[in-house]
Amino acid sequence: MALTRDQIAMRVAQEIQDGYYVNLGIGIPTLVANYVPEDMDVMLQSENGLLGMGEFPTEETIDPDLINAGKQTVTAVTGAAYFSSAESFAMIRGGHVDLTVLGAFEVDQEGSIASWMIPGKLVKGMGGAMDLVAGAENIIVTMTHANKHGVSKILKKCTLPLTGANCIKRVITELAFMEIKNGAFHLLERAPGVSVEEIQALTEADLVVNGDIPEMTF
């Protein structure tokens, strides 16, 4: 069966290593904060100027003045730091973020990502995604495999305005964990109970399948 949003976040959390500085984008990526192992030394960065985000707050721990880039209330871990947006983006542009997790409307087999606008619809702004894809070497995209009409969002070439070109390396959807290399998506893992054939049917891009593809574990 397809993964839930929280299960996607749980799988992303497995890619985080001890000592990492990690930027979490808006949407599914923000949920990753709830699944970082307690014994791991990781600092989560929000581009609005918080380094050291913790789990989402309970009613007892909520602080309305403490928010992430998506304007959701968050908590701060011991050792957290607050700074200006300018300093936050200096950290991003300077390549000081070890892992960036972003949402997307589309990704393609050239490693390009479209995540900031759909022509004809309300655009709130491009946010920090363009800086993140330009300044980060290690990017994971979390997204749905297809739109609500069943049309693939894993493409040979993006159709929407790009956030960045040739910058994405890994994608986790509700169906699959894939790596982009040599001009194609390579299937690494599949959601429990989801067949390779189901993934292929919803993937417009070239999809390489080598051997038996294991199911994701949590």
Cβ–Cβ under 8 Å, residues 26 and 103: yes
- End-to-end distance of the chain based on CA atoms, in angstroms? 14
What's the per-residue H, E or C state across 97-128? CCEEEEECCEEECCCCEECCCCCCCCCCCCCC
3-class DSSP state for residue 11? helix
Cα 173 from chain centre? 10
Q: How far is CA 214 from CA 157, 159, 166, 180, 188, in A?
A: 27, 31, 27, 18, 7
Q: State the catalytic residues.
A: 47
CA 186, CA 126: separation in Å to the nearest integer?
29
Instruction: Give the angle subtended at the CA of 163 by the CAs of 132 and 100, to the nearest 5°.
Output: 30
CA 111, CA 108: separation in Å to the nearest integer?
6
Cβ–Cβ under 8 Å, residues 5 and 31: yes
Q: Which residues pair with 21 in a beta bridge?
A: 43
Cβ–Cβ under 8 Å, residues 51 and 21: yes
